[in-house]
Amino acid sequence: MHSRMRWTLILAAMILPGILFACGGGGASSSGDGTPLPAKILSWAAPESYTDNTSLNPLTDLAEYEIYVNESGSFTDADTPSAVVNAVDTTTHTLTSSFNLANLAPYLSEGISYRVSMRAVAVTGLKSDFSPPASFSF
């Protein structure tokens, strides 16, 4: 049995640039004061193998991604995810590879530097290590 999943190097390399790309418009989310937050898109690539290098098929082996956000950048197994995203889009049957952090607006504020990390969760319940934290702010 696999003890943990391994993130591909692509995930670690893509998480930071993904946050840096902010799209304009299209934000129904708002900060605590009702002002809409701009889109901040977190992007990633699915893991393709377990830590023992056996293959992982993300379409059939992954259940979801857990997204964690805090100000410290320190994440532990005791933390509750800020968001959980299906690994496979149920409508298109394609891998999910992004999340708009502005969707967390009720819990985030402008002008604060946040850190984000994520984990892949297999259909068996096994979880990957946390990705390296990346910074973002609104």
Give the pLDDT confidence of 38-79 residue by residue, as tens digits.
Answer: 999 999 999 998 878 889 999 999 999 999 999 999 999 999
The per-residue pLDDT for 55 is: 92
Q: Which residues fall within 8 angstroms of residue 42, CB to CB, at 6 or more apart? A: 15, 18, 19, 67, 98, 99, 100, 101, 116, 118, 134, 136
Domains for the chain: give ranges and CATH numbers. 5-26+39-46+61-136 (2.60.40.10)
State the DSSP string of 31-100.
Answer: -TTSPBPPP-EEE-----EETT--B--HHHHEEEEEEEEESS----TTSPPSEEEESB-TTT--B--EEE
pTM, two decimal places: 0.78
Which pLDDT value is given to residue 32?
A: 54
Q: Residue 53's pLDDT is what?
A: 87
pLDDT band at 24 (very low <50, low <70, confident <90, very high): very low
pLDDT digits (tens, 9 = 90+) for 80-96: 999 999 999 999 999 99
